[in-house]
Amino acid sequence: MIEIIPAIDLIDGRCVRLSQGSFQKKTVYPADPVDMAVWFMDKGFRRLHMVDLDGAGEGRMKNLHVLEKAASKTSLVIDYGGGIKSVQDVMLLIDHGASMVCIGSMAVASPPEFEKVLESTGSDRVILASDIKDGTIAVSGWKEDSGIDPAGFLRENIAKGVKTVMCTDVSRDGMFTGPAAELYRSLKKEFPETAIIASGGVSSAGDIEILEGIGLEGVVVGKAFYENRINTEELKKYLH
């Protein structure tokens, strides 16, 4: 059964959601991020995807205090991404309560350092972020086009030991247009042994069922919760 992974995106320690990755299309929510993490746990979710948008944009992690509080007040398995540049950063995140790290830009900009992360932490604690914008891998908070082919990017890193990939179609993120089902279907066909987590565009429980039918291991849901597009009652069969 597919796992639903709620998302908390952070700017200045506050819950936000972007549309298509644009900081100019930002919605700030009144909910405290730690309170949201507790709410997700109480509803039966086991995982949490936490994104440091400040860190992604500036190249250094800036919301560790939120991670630490959320980890101390919940039993959620938290994966954290944004601004991770080194093995030392990864160790700092683990010290602050992250169970897993989600890394994209480092794998593009510094493959040797990314390999060190895989070796030092073990691949079970690493999620490779494959953020696709206009057909290529986007980096630095989706602001830069790497020019790298997504399939080749995955192939290369799976060969290095990556077991889990989070793939985001940036054009759909925060837009409620439905997930990129054909993209995920093609990735799952090419990489059947890799755990693939979908992200972007989910607007209904029906979208989740489509992704489950493809055989994906997980799906990130963010804005649909904050905008009340999905009721947790609809998701009971996925919760624990």
Q: Which residues are catalytic?
A: 9, 131
Buried/exposed code over 149-165 (b: 16+ C-beta within 10 A; e: otherwise): ebeebbeebbeeebbbb
Closest CA relative to residue 199, chosen from 121, 120, 127, 99: 127
Q: Could you give the CA distance from residue 88 to residue 94 in angstroms, rounded to a whole number?
A: 10
H or E segment and range at residue 197 = strand 195-199
Radius of gyration from C-alpha coordinates of the chain: 16
SS3 112: helix
Tokens at residue 24, please? 């100019």
H or E segment and range at residue 95 = helix 87-95
